[in-house]
Amino acid sequence: MDISSRIDTMEIIKRRAKYEYQFLQTFEAGMSLVGTEVKSLRTGDANLTDAWCTFENGELYLKSLYIAPYKYGAVNQHETRRNRKLLLKKTELKKLARRVKEKGQAIVPFRIYFSESGFAKCEIALAQGKKSYDKRETIKKRDVDRDLDRAKLNA
């Protein structure tokens, strides 16, 4: 069996992230997980809605990510909302730490997927919160694009 047939297409997305934040730069981070967490992620039993990132002792952690207990697991299951370490290069960590100290910038996790080599990855973004008028602009632009697509289909 070759690797291409084993690639998982599972993807967990935080849909409101692009609506609430303006992404300045994105990073791909590995995740430090235990066995039952990986199995549960492969089935798509996770929720990224409340998740957020923070620095502790110079390391980046993903907090409040919900990964459901693996339904075929034994008694020793993982904690559903434990802190999970994100694995990045030191230069990327320093860059993120420096930029987060600036006013109004945050690290937002918005996508979890499996890489071609089978490792769980979390896509994070250095982001800046949008104002309410920016959010309204986003909605208007999306509506206009949708109307144009409908007009093309009907023409």
Output the CATH code of domain 8-154.
Answer: 2.40.280.10
pTM of the model: 0.78
Rounded CA gap, 77 and 74, in Å? 7
Q: What pLDDT was estimated at residue 2?
A: 47
β-strands 11-13, 105-114 pairing? antiparallel
Q: What pLDDT was estimated at residue 1?
A: 43
Domain residue extents for the chain: 8-154
Residue the block writes with tokens 């949708």: 146
Q: What pLDDT was estimated at residue 14?
A: 86
pLDDT along the chain (155 residues), means of 10: 54 84 91 87 87 91 90 78 92 91 87 90 90 83 89 84
Q: What pLDDT was estimated at residue 8?
A: 59
Q: How many degrees, rounded to 5, is the angle at CA 53 between CA 126 and CA 98?
A: 50
